[in-house]
Structure 1
Amino acid sequence: MNSYDVAVIGSGPGGYVAAIRCAQLGMKTAIIEKYSVLGGTCLNVGCIPSKALLDSSHHYEDAIKHFSEHGIDIPGDIKVNLKQMITRKQSVVDQTTSGIDFLMKKNKIDVYEGIGSFKDATHITISGNESTEIEAKNTIIATGSKPSTLPFIKIDKERIITSTEALKLTEIPKHLIVIGGGVIGLELGQVYKRLGAEVTVIEYMDRIVPTMDSAVSKELNKVFKKQKFSINTSHKVKSVERNGNEVIVKADNKKGEEVSFTGDYCLVSVGRRPYTDGLNAEAAGVKLTERGQIEVNAHLQTNVSNIYAVGDVVKGAMLAHKASEEGVLVAEIIAGQKPHIDYNLIPGVVYTWPEAAAVGKTEEELKEAGIAYKTGQFPMRALGRSRASMDLDGFVKILADKTTDEILGVHMVGARAADMIAEAVVAMEYRASAEDVSRMSHAHPTFTEAIKEAALAATDDIALHM
């Protein structure tokens, strides 16, 4: 029987990063993955493939809507080759997952294919083509999550689908109904809207991306309506039925009236659930919460001292970069170090176009906590860079402590917001004030000038270019 200092169950961004860090710190490490490819949801059916399709569809939309304005004339009709788009997406995925294979070999990490199941707290059975058992002094559970559904919806993976199936459709939907106005639904909805589908979004809450600052929700709502999305908030879905190639969704609107939506595909994107199937956690004595998550303390340690858990399978935002940070933290704790994660500084991003990104507290959270704050906001359309690239939608909003001027939250919608948010994370990591950021030189012309201007507005109540 092979023995290890650390065994990692799951090879997503939490698992494979944890394994690499453990190996770097001198521990003999194994990683267990049920599928034949490493990378988990993010690399295979999540972050990476969805961004590939978002980029491809963005190029197509630019070609049909904006090239002529830029003085680029293309003779003949511009057509979508969905098959090639999906093929390119898969090649991006394959390149990325093969990179993880390389990193495992480079760091001398043993890879086991199969379902990792606890026999007890220090022994794991791996059920694959052949059954194997290994011994591990420490184990990191990184089994991730799966798409959630509603109790009355039957996912047939053909017309009533999850994000996994939406990434490999063989035709462009005529009318895609999206249940859930969160990140996944909006991103995939935008992919197929650009390619010619009619898209209807049905959201239970009173606004889309309801966990983000209300100003972000309001701006994205305005943008999507301009892009001819049908946005239906405060709608409670009560049935989803398939009739041949049609899907009928019935919901109650905020007045309690029944409304019906008919499309040829329905994407169910109502969140994700922790995935622990086959883990046999009870055999190791590991406790789960009522929500099916692995119960952990502040060090991501379970009630069994040598077993830890990271990523989507524990509490907190289900984000790949959050999982990776946790993977590093646990590896370093096992090695005897004292790392730390500030969960308030884990950014969130919506990769639609324009993008939306945020870090820190929302205005609603500050109000609820009774914290006195001030606001500075600057529109992207006031930037020379935005006009040059024709990306005029969006804004940057900075929330700062009314007394100390410390930045408490940054929220933005706009081109390259996903990249720009890193500046805000750095500033908040070093507890910068709005004035600190307002006095930093930002290259001109850039999108990040909006951050400087919003900081000026928060500090002096007036921006330079407003």
Structure 2
Amino acid sequence: MASYDVIIIGSGPGGYVCAIRCAQLGLKTACVEGRETLGGTCLNVGCIPSKALLHASHQLHEAEHNFGKMGLKVTAPKVDWKQMLAYKNETIGANTKGVEFLFKKNKIDWLKGWGSIPEAGKVKVGDEVHEAKHIIIATGSDSASIPGAEVTIDEKIVVTSTGALELPKVPKTMVVVGGGVIGLELGSVYARLGTKVTVVEYMDAITPGQDAEVARQFQKLLTKQGLEFVLSAGVSKVETLKTKAKVHYTLRKDSSEQVLDADVVLVSTGRKPYTEGLGLDALGVAVSQRGQIEVDGHYTTNIKGIYAIGDAIAGPMLAHKAEDEGMAVAEGIAGQHPHVNYDVIPGVIYTHPEVASVGHTEETLKEAGHGYKVGKFSFMGNGRAKANFAADGFVKILADQSTDRILGAHIIGPMAGDLIHEICVAMEFGASAEDLARTCHAHPTYSEAVREAALACGDGPIHS
């Protein structure tokens, strides 16, 4: 039996970052992981492999549509799907081996196997029981099925994001159930590869919770790329046949029953906390109706010495949110006073163009009765974007009506996922839109569009 200061269960972004931070702070640390590789869902079957396929399929799009315009004469590219999957797998391998290297460098023990907590202060992995002063649950989440629908996921014809990342061939038709981040990212991958993709969404707009103006523009751009959308539609049944599936849904406006045929159905209706097998019931750990572990402001459960972070607790299911919580709980255990600012956690959709947001939307500000002003700038006015065939989209900054303090920002356009972070830093320091507008931005860069949107909160942009 080994004894540790901290044992973390789960090696996803929350877990492995937490483990490294614990080790940096001088705590004897171990991390439990049952997969053959470290990195959790994100590195193995989530964020990283999907970004590899998004990148590869975008390069195909560039070759097909933009190379010729730039004087690059090439024969029409062909998709070698096996090689594309091999590239994706190499990307996974490089990242997971990188985490393993970091564990060795920081002297973190990898306890291989699936963990459970037989009692406070003890973690069982296989037949061995290890002692720990502090136990951190970082077990992440799993794909959720369609609420109230008859569906059997076989990861061959009816798939989650996991199956969608390793289909044996590119399907001719695909129905994506759910118009959120995962469905739209993977849907856009297959649309670029030639699949006819139809997205069925229960709400009356895609990306629920997103700024409404951005969501409308996003849907228009995805439609131009070949995706089709059926909104306000509730899926009741997914019927699996030998080589295809039938998706039964009801249109909410007139209650009419509809059916769509597809070679593959991607179920992307959200995720749910994965806490199976931990023994939480027997321990008496408080869990919400949604299956989320309940914690206080220090990520402590109702059982002393047991903590939880990331997708296993309430809040946005984002890898970087889990990382911040992982660092915070490590620092708290080490006697520091960490803080996670939940008002400044960005969200990114890695389609092309990218969509990124932070803070309030116009809808949440209106609902709160908060006076605000809008500064907006189109990438059509950005020289770099026009030169790179990336002028679709805009930057939108929301600032307080009276103080000019930045309350939120929404970007749809090139490199949106990177551009959003200067606004995050500005918000972290309580900056005004004028502060951002008066900061010199290099020319020509995409980031000038952010400055122009900040200028638009005052006297107006220069290039519009």
Instruction: Normalising by structure 2, report the TM-score.
Output: 0.98
One-letter code aligned to 1:305: K
Match of 1:458, SS state, is: coil
Partner of 2:223: 225
1:132 aligns with 2:131: no
Following superposition, the deviation at residue 256 of structure 1 comes to 1.6
Alignment of 1:75-90 (within 5 A): 75=75, 77-90=76-89
Following superposition, the deviation at residue 305 of structure 1 comes to 2.1
Partner of 1:349: 348
Partner of 1:402: 401
Percent identity between matched residues is: 52
Give 5+ residue unaligned stretches, structure 1. none
1:210 to 186, 208, 233: 208
State how far apart, in whole Å, the 2-side matches of 1:298 and 1:403 are.
Answer: 32
Match of 1:91, SS state, is: helix
Partner of 2:139: 143
Match of 1:138, SS state, is: strand
Partner of 2:95: 96
Alignment of 1:239-388 (within 5 A): 239-253=237-251, 254-388=253-387
Residues 120 and 304, structure 2, Cα contact 8 Å, conserved in 1: no
One-letter code aligned to 1:369: A
Match of 2:422, SS state, is: helix
One-letter code aligned to 2:213: A
Choose 55-64 or 276-285, whichever is displaced more: 276-285
Following superposition, the deviation at residue 316 of structure 1 comes to 0.3
Give 5+ residue unaligned stretches, structure 2. none
Residues 30 and 109, structure 1, Cα contact 8 Å, conserved in 2: yes
Partner of 1:164: 162
State how far apart, in whole Å, the 1-side matches of 2:221 and 2:254 are.
Answer: 25
Partner of 1:234: 232
State how far apart, in whole Å, the 2-side matches of 1:93 and 1:107 are.
Answer: 21
One-letter code aligned to 1:241: E
Residues 206 and 233, structure 1, Cα contact 8 Å, conserved in 2: yes
Match of 2:282, SS state, is: helix
Residues 118 and 283, structure 1, Cα contact 8 Å, conserved in 2: no
Following superposition, the deviation at residue 258 of structure 1 comes to 1.5
Match of 2:458, SS state, is: helix
Following superposition, the deviation at residue 255 of structure 1 comes to 2.2
State how far apart, in whole Å, the 1-side matches of 2:168 and 2:209 are.
Answer: 33
Following superposition, the deviation at residue 390 of structure 1 comes to 0.5
Match of 1:317, SS state, is: coil
Partner of 2:443: 444
2:152 to 151, 154, 157: 154
Match of 1:304, SS state, is: coil
State how far apart, in whole Å, the 1-side matches of 2:150 and 2:371 are.
Answer: 44
Instruction: Normalising by structure 1, report the TM-score.
Output: 0.98
Following superposition, the deviation at residue 331 of structure 1 comes to 0.1
Following superposition, the deviation at residue 418 of structure 1 comes to 0.5
User: What's the C-alpha RMSD, in Å, of the aligned pairs?
Assistant: 0.9
State how far apart, in whole Å, the 2-side matches of 1:305 and 1:443 are.
Answer: 51
Following superposition, the deviation at residue 70 of structure 1 comes to 1.0
Residue correspondences, number: 461
Deviation string, structure 1 residues 307-340 (Cα, Å, up to 9, x no partner): 1101000000000000000000000000010000
One-letter code aligned to 2:10: G
State how far apart, in whole Å, the 1-side matches of 2:447 and 2:173 are.
Answer: 37
Deviation string, structure 1 residues 269-309 (Cα, Å, up to 9, x no partner): 00001000110023333211111111101111101121110
Q: Moved runs in structure 1, 4+ residues, more than 6 A?
A: none
